[in-house]
Amino acid sequence: MIDLSDGLSTDLGHLCNQSGVGAMIEASRIPLAKIVVRHRQFLRDVPLRYALHGGEDYELLFAVPSRLSQRVPKQIDGLPIHKIGWITRSTGVWLLDGQKKQRLHSGGFDHFAR
């Protein structure tokens, strides 16, 4: 489990790297902030980009073994739980957007960048 304060693409990469695994996430399953969707005409980038690389979301990202996935509740304390993908044995983080599969590179906040 990790918080998403540095962005989904960055923090998912950290989770996978530390665990020695990869991930496949589905663009259509990623929840978008209502404010981003409501004001998309004023934003210079698409809502999915903000969902992947924006930070300070104050959300938690976690993984469970597939054999236990049925035990994950649909919500916790009234907050919905979203299944956005799955863990893979091979390393690397991938994004499925319709039929298009692409490597998802870290695009969130990097504490050590200059």
Total of domains in the chain: 1
In a domain, 84, yes or no: yes
In a domain, 112, yes or no: no
In a domain, 108, yes or no: no
pTM of the model: 0.81
73: its two tokens: 């509740």
As a whole number of angstroms, the distance between CA 7 and CA 24 comes to 16
SS3 content of the chain, % helix, strand, coil (to 5): 30, 25, 45
The whole domain housing 65 covers 2-103
As a whole number of angstroms, the distance between CA 12 and CA 25 comes to 10
In a domain, 96, yes or no: yes
pLDDT per position as a tens digit, 2-50: 888 888 999 999 999 999 999 999 999 998 776 665 666 666 557 788 8
**DSSP secondary structure string for all residues of 55-88:** -----EE----GGGGGGS-SEETTEEP---EEEE
In a domain, 8, yes or no: yes
CATH code where residue 63 lies: 3.90.650.10
84: its two tokens: 């956005």
pLDDT per position as a tens digit, 37-93: 566 666 655 778 888 888 766 788 999 999 999 999 999 999 899 999 999 999 999
